[in-house]
Amino acid sequence: MSLIAGMLNELDERTIARRVAIAHDEARMSFHLASNTVRNYDEYTDVLARYVQHHYGRCVALGGRLSRTDAAGRAKEILKQELRRQGGDDVTTYYDCKEGVNGGLRQVCDALCDHMKAEAIENYSRDVFDRYLPPDNYAVRTQMVAQFVRHCSVALPGIDAANPARYVDRIEELVRAFVRGLRQISTVFRKR
């Protein structure tokens, strides 16, 4: 198997699901909520902390544990980041959980899981790129560009296959775009 084929195999959505994503989904499913609502902010903070501790121990540190303070802080920081994009904040989420609207606690735990899973997938991808495209080895990077262009020649019209060094600084960007495109095509074919 060529280096490029090995790298693309490690970046394949099924490989990522097996190695990273499924564990996060299973951690989310194994955390049971007694209720989809909370009585007060202390209970809200406690549920967030317990969920992050649970998820962290199952997927990040594999048996390790975050303190309640670190887990609650991490949860609130994640929610702040996620909700900023939607125009809300952790106070908005608290009231959603208190009133049981917009998915309540279930939705909050899902958002925490999705964020930690995306972070883990990015860490995994970063490791794959660093192993196959070492930033300090120009020769290997040039070789990988040449292999990538040969591997994807039909799908890459307009690429200068005779001059792969031209793309060395953009190889990661090219591979990410290619893999993203494959995932989109795969999704279309899975629709019934």
Question: Per the structure block, which two tokens stand in for 81?
Answer: 């980041």
Question: Per the structure block, which two tokens stand in for 19?
Answer: 């190695």
Structure confidence at residue 99 (pLDDT): 96
**Residue 191 predicted with pLDDT over 80:** no
pLDDT tens digits along 112-121: 999 999 999 9
175, 141 in Cβ contact below 8 A?
A: no
Which amino acid makes up residue 41? Y
Cβ-count burial 134-172 (b if 16+ within 10 Å, e if not)? eeeeeeebbbbbbbbbebbeeeeeebeeeebeebbeebb
pLDDT tens digits along 12-24: 999 999 999 999 9
> What is the spatial distance between Cα 108 and Cα 54, in angstroms, rounded to a whole number?
14
Structure confidence at residue 154 (pLDDT): 62
Q: Rounded to 5, what percent of the chain is helix, strand, coil?
A: 75, 0, 25
Domain ranges, ordered by start, for the chain: 15-125, 134-187
- Helix or strand (DSSP H, E) at 86: none
Question: Per the structure block, which two tokens stand in for 170?
Answer: 């953009």
> What is the spatial distance between Cα 2 and Cα 4, in angstroms, rounded to a whole number?
5
List CB contacts of 1: < 8 A, sequence separation 6 or more.
9
- pTM value surpassing 0.85: yes
Structure confidence at residue 87 (pLDDT): 74
